[in-house]
Structure 1
Amino acid sequence: MSTIPRQLVPTFTILLVIATASLRAETIADGTLAKEKVLSRIGFGSCVRQDQPQPIWNAIVAADPSLFVLLGDNVYGDTQDMSILRQQYDQLAANPGYRKLLATCPILATWDDHDYGANDAGKEFPSREQSKNELLRFLKEPSGSARWNRPGVYGSYLFGPADQRVQIILLDTRYFRDPLKRKEELPVSVRGRRGFYAPHEDRTMTILGEQQWAWLEKTLQVPARLRIVATSIQLISSEHGFETWGNFPAERERFFQLIKRTKANGVVLISGDRHHAELSQLKPGIGYPLFEVTSSSLNAPADWANDVNPHRLGSVYWQANFGMITIDWKQPDPTVALQIRNVSGQPVLEHAMPLSQLQVSPTSSSSRETK
């Protein structure tokens, strides 16, 4: 498919709005190849208090992203009353800064707990299907989309010609997730605390569920040079005791082994949830270094000093922020830069590497990474 048709029945939606006198939404289906759209700047962020000022949208628009990904907590609903959740989505949709961004680039979205409906909720949330419907309404999902008829909100997208192909994978860490295991004693302090939760010893406890795991394995085998995998909660950072894949150690290890088994090159993780920003690196990785960019919050940061993350690269950024991944396709070996930017659009955290670094080496070890 060489161009994006005006009318396309999708299985997952992005909003592609042309900057004309009126906003016009177009959609790209889950799995669709947008061959002529080369991604060179991928923006992302999480945790939007829809009832608070959101000046950061102006900086995001000025950064001119080719695409923007909302990583969850896109509104703070925390309700089983769907009329309230709808009002909150409508409030975000009406924000002038958000509308500016919507008019300039496609927006993709997954969800986290507060827009799902309850703090730290998983599959036990009784209104998960109704909440999904409200998200799809907010995204203007076409009525014929398969996403209305399947569980969860995961999806994938391909952009660019073969030599510049970027795959965006959105995971759903809510709809299928088993209950968390609470610690016997809650932390006393807010600052520097090690969360409420402990790792499950039961290896059958899941985050993604078998249907999503099967889809992910197939999706990772689609050819692409760079794969951006969005997970609403952190995957590499696993020891802070708040929500993290580390609370489900068998699932975390399964993810690493799946990347190795499928020999999926170019994987970079993006995450939100934590109300601060940081870069993480898994060593020895998955046959190559695995990086994660955590961007949170767009307008509601929190300063929890001494937050535990032995995989952290550099420092933590505690102010409002958004993430940006830039790819310099003009280089023979394209440079990939992972950035956190502040409310003025200036980079405050950054790590760059050649794309060739994110490739499985023929001599790479197949040893298991469990740390």
Structure 2
Amino acid sequence: MPILGEMAKQKADAVLFLGDNIYADTHDMKVMREKYATLAKNTDFQALQQHAPIFAVWDDHDYGLNDAGADYPQRVQAQKEFLDFWGIEKDSPRRTREGIYDSVILGPEGKRVQILLLDTRYFRSTLKKSAERRVGGPYIPDSDPAKTILGETQWQWLEGELKKSAEVRIIATGIQCVPSDAGQETWANLPRERQRLFDLISKAKASGAFIVSGDRHWSEFSMTDENVDYPIYDFTSSSFNQIHPRGTPTDNQYRISDSTYHKENYGVIQIDWEKDDPIVEVQIRDINSKIQLRNTLKLSELQARSN
């Protein structure tokens, strides 16, 4: 994983791992533990750990099984393995509650960045499948009000977190949120949950929010201004070293990047606080740190309506 060594050279203030951090794909916790141990021994990963604090969520493959949700029978044990590997403190709330979601605020007043780490696996309901497989997979939207992505306890927690004071909010989710459904796992498969997230941002008057996601084995930028308080961006960066053999992106009516990028890559978020209207720039960099995609936002564009 040489890209992790390249990332270490950047000496970031923080690093986000967005899931599929290992490919466990097992019911056997011994196998999962061994795969975490392999990652821990990787010298590029060690270099990255030494240069920046890492905040992590999981996706399906480090959760336990491909496309798994609340029906994964080893989810309690997998949570312990996740928390142990990432060195989460023994007195952390993540040790006593279901799910690995968490939040942290970095930086001084006036330059605060809130990182919201969502768990889109532990509580997620079974997805609806179509008999006809599309490019991205078999899944289709399901408006069943009983189905959930975050689970009610995590939703209540998130509402409280969004009310905290911060200038920028980075919402980290393993699966994409803004992109349209095209067969793959995405928030769009449970559209009521997707809209609930957007409504919650508006209700909490939570300014400065955007989404970062992974999973897809390519990078792209998406945005929606439909039924939201201000435009919601979803910056997808994927993956470190697992190049998709198909190489074809799924349809996405919300894609705003001129292209997608399919080789090894990582995302960079830079915030220029010195401007009167702070600038947030999101980049996708390749294995040599060359910029392949770029999007620049003014913080004033991510402001909740006052009324």
Q: Which TM class, normalised by the smaller chain length?
A: over 0.9
State the partner residue of 2:124: 177
In structure 2, what residue type is equivalent to 1:125? Y
Q: CA deviation at 1:306?
A: 4.7
Structure with more of its chain in helix, by fraction: 2
Q: CA deviation at 1:93?
A: 1.0
1:350 and 1:361 map into 2 onto residues whose CA distance is 27
Question: 1:62·1:345 contact (CA, 8 Å) conserved in 2?
Answer: no
State the partner residue of 1:268: 210
Q: CA deviation at 1:143?
A: 2.4
Instruction: Give 1:34-113 correspondences, 5 Å limit.
Output: 54-113=1-60
State the partner residue of 2:290: 346
State the partner residue of 2:164: 222
1:309 matched to 2:256? no
Instruction: Give 1:6-21 correspondences, 5 Å limit.
Output: none
State the partner residue of 1:233: 175
1:227 and 1:326 map into 2 onto residues whose CA distance is 13
1:362 and 1:172 map into 2 onto residues whose CA distance is 30
Instruction: Give 1:234-253 correspondences, 5 Å limit.
Output: 234-253=176-195
1:144 and 1:327 map into 2 onto residues whose CA distance is 32
Aligned residue for 1:164, secondary structure, equals coil
State the partner residue of 1:157: 104
2:234 and 2:114 map into 1 onto residues whose CA distance is 16
Q: CA deviation at 1:141?
A: 2.2
The structure showing larger relative contact order (alpha-carbon pairs under 8 Å, at least 6 residues apart) is 1
Answer with 1 or 2: which has the greater Rg. 1
2:192 and 2:231 map into 1 onto residues whose CA distance is 20
Q: CA deviation at 1:284?
A: 4.3
Structure 1 outlier segments of 4+, above 3 Å: none
In structure 2, what residue type is equivalent to 1:104? H
Aligned residue for 1:69, secondary structure, equals strand
2:277 and 2:171 map into 1 onto residues whose CA distance is 21
Question: 2:27·2:64 contact (CA, 8 Å) conserved in 1?
Answer: yes
State the partner residue of 1:201: 143
Instruction: Give 1:276-295 correspondences, 5 Å limit.
Output: 276-284=218-226, 286-295=228-237
The match for 2:89 among 138, 142, 147 is 142
Q: CA deviation at 1:58?
A: 2.1
TM-score w.r.t. the length of structure 2 is 0.96
2:60 and 2:124 map into 1 onto residues whose CA distance is 11
For residues 150 and 306 of structure 1, do their structure 2 counterparts lie closer, same or farther at Cα, with a shift above 3 Å needed? closer
Q: How many residue pairs were aligned?
A: 305
Instruction: Give 1:347-366 correspondences, 5 Å limit.
Output: 347-362=291-306
Gaps of 5+ in 2: none
In structure 2, what residue type is equivalent to 1:114? H
In structure 2, what residue type is equivalent to 1:359? Q
Deviation track 1:70-94 (CA, whole Å, cap 9, x = no partner) reads: 0000000000110110010011111
State the partner residue of 2:265: 321
Aligned residue for 1:162, secondary structure, equals coil
2:93 and 2:115 map into 1 onto residues whose CA distance is 18
Aligned residue for 2:80, secondary structure, equals helix
In structure 1, what residue type is equivalent to 2:75? R
For residues 253 and 284 of structure 1, do their structure 2 counterparts lie closer, same or farther at Cα, with a shift above 3 Å needed? closer
Question: 1:176·1:207 contact (CA, 8 Å) conserved in 2?
Answer: yes
1:131 matched to 2:75? no
Aligned residue for 1:341, secondary structure, equals strand
In structure 1, what residue type is equivalent to 2:247? W
Question: 2:285·2:291 contact (CA, 8 Å) conserved in 1?
Answer: yes
Q: CA deviation at 1:280?
A: 0.6
Gaps of 5+ in 1: 1-53, 188-192, 364-371
For residues 252 and 61 of structure 1, do their structure 2 counterparts lie closer, same or farther at Cα, with a shift above 3 Å needed? same
Instruction: Report % sequence identity.
Output: 44
Question: 1:77·1:117 contact (CA, 8 Å) conserved in 2?
Answer: yes
